[in-house]
Structure formats: structure tokens, C-alpha cells
Amino acid sequence: MAKGILLLHGPNLNLLGTRQPEVYGGMTLAEINSAVEQHLAAYDVQLRTAQSNHEGALIEFLHEARGWADGVVFNPGAYTHTSVALRDAITAIELPVIEVHLSNVHGREAFRHTSLLAGVCLGAIAGFGWHSYILAVDALLRHWDLLRD
């Protein structure tokens, strides 16, 4: 039975490739999505991707995931540090969610050191650039006991 993964990207991540490449790397969002897709090619996984700059739209993607996905890899962008509503949505959907950041948020401004979401996620990965997403997907596969060497 195929597993479903929602790869969800929050605000400003549509600008990847040109947005502060010294912080976030040079890959576009489409390139990151396709790297994850390629990584998952060896697994029986259905991947869907989405991005929004709007908190409410991200909440709706999470709600919809309840109907088809088995897990979520989520870079909530700046909403990580502010959104009680996203925290409540993650709690409500009862799916394993991995919080992902390209940059090492703990080495940056103090306001980025707090995540309102990590505590209701299965775990969080930060600081490995686009590879953070691969590590997050592997964390889900391992959670399901599907990860191969």
C-alpha cells in the first residue's frame, strides 16, 4: 500500500533560487521538489507538493492531507515563529509532520530560535540546505520502518 507524503512550503519559499542564496542556497523550489521526487523514486510513495504565502491556505493544505496523506514534510517559513493556528492545525490532523528549514535557524536572529510548531511535530531538521528535505523524508520513511540503506 503506497504511502502519501505532502511536501508543503510556506511563505517566500516560492522565491528560492533568487532569495538570499547565501542563506538559502541556489536551488529553486521546483528543483527541490524534483530532488525529493527523485529520492523517493525507489519507494512506493505518492508525493504531492504545495506552496502558499498565506497562513489560511497552508492550514487548508494540512486539513486536506488528512484525507490522503500518511505524513507531511513542512517548511513553514516565518510562520514557524508566529503561528498558533498552524500549530493547532498540525495537532488536529494527527499525521506525523516533520518541520524543515534550509538554514540553521538556531544560528540566526533570536526570534528564529523559537518554533511554535516543532513541539507538535514528530521532529525538526534545520541547517542542511536543500538536503534538509531529503533528511526529513528519510525521517518519515524510517518512522514507517521503510527506509533502506
Q: Tell me how far apart the alpha carbons of residues 12 and 23 are, in angstroms, rounded to a whole number.
A: 13
Beta bridge partners of residue 50, listed in sequence order: 8
- 79 is a catalytic site residue: no
Q: By CB under 6 A, is residue 12 in contact with ligand DQA?
A: yes
Q: By CB under 6 A, is residue 97 in contact with ligand DQA?
A: no
CB nearer ligand DQA, residue 46 or residue 50: 50
Minimum CB distance to ligand DQA, residue 139 (Å): 16
Of the listed pieces 36-44, 71-79, 88-96, 116-124, which binds ligand DQA according to CB under 6 A? 71-79
Q: By CB under 6 A, is residue 105 in contact with ligand DQA?
A: yes
Q: 53: which residues sit within 8 A by CB, 6+ positions away? A: 10, 11, 12, 14
Minimum CB distance to ligand DQA, residue 48 (Å): 20
Q: Grid coordinates 499525521 are at which residue? A: 95
With residue 135 as reference, give the H or E element that holds it.
helix 131-143
- 24 is a catalytic site residue: yes
Q: Tell me how far apart the alpha carbons of residues 88 and 85 are, in angstroms, rounded to a whole number.
A: 5
Site string for ligand DQA, 23-62 (x = CB under 6 A): ----------------------------------------
Q: By CB under 6 A, is residue 78 in contact with ligand DQA?
A: yes
CB 21 within 8 A of CB 33: no
CB nearer ligand DQA, residue 68 or residue 111: 111
DSSP state of 123: E
Among 65, 101, 115, 136, contact with ligand DQA (rule: CB under 6 A):
101
Which ranges in 1-126 belong to alpha helices (H)? Answer: 21-24, 29-39, 55-65, 84-93
Give the residue numbers annotated as catalytic, written as ranges. 24, 101
